[in-house]
Amino acid sequence: MKSSIVVVAACLLVAAACLPAVSAAWAASDGKSLYLEHCAGCHGKDGAKAGGAAAPPAGQNSQAVYAKLRGYADGSEGGKLKNIMLNVTRKLDDAGMRAVSDYIETLPAAR
């Protein structure tokens, strides 16, 4: 009985150690699907298209992208296309904004 408990406990520890990697992989795939659904229409599948005066998103630092998305959501960021981005960011929760930001960082920088 004790050996069964030890085996179960060991399995749980191994599974817990794998969670960050699994979570990161899931977030990246979720970020891609969210990007394709909400962003690619204007910025392109590869993120190489600029939106108004903004630089193309591809290759930008995830923290900077996240800060911009939060800014669009709260109204502190944006120019003439502010309302478009406001409508997009309203469709994403905080985790979605982080996932999209992380995905954008993986895209090769636009040239």
Q: What is the pLDDT, as a whole number, of residue 79?
A: 80
Question: Chunked in runs of 10, what are the mean pLDDT values of the chain (111 residues)?
Answer: 57 51 52 95 91 84 96 88 88 95 92 68
Report the candidate in 47, 45, 13, 34 with the shortest Cα–Cα distance to residue 89: 34
Q: What is the pLDDT, as a whole number, of residue 17?
A: 56
| Type of residue at 101 | S
Segments making up each domain of the chain, as ranges: 26-106
Q: What is the pLDDT, as a whole number, of residue 26?
A: 45
What fold, for 26-106? Cytochrome Bc1 Complex; Chain D, domain 2 (1.10.760)
pTM: 0.72
Q: What is the pLDDT, as a whole number, of residue 12?
A: 47
Tokens of 11: 């399995």
Q: Residue 51 contacts by C-beta under 8 Å, 6 or more apart in sequence?
A: 42, 43, 57, 81, 84, 85
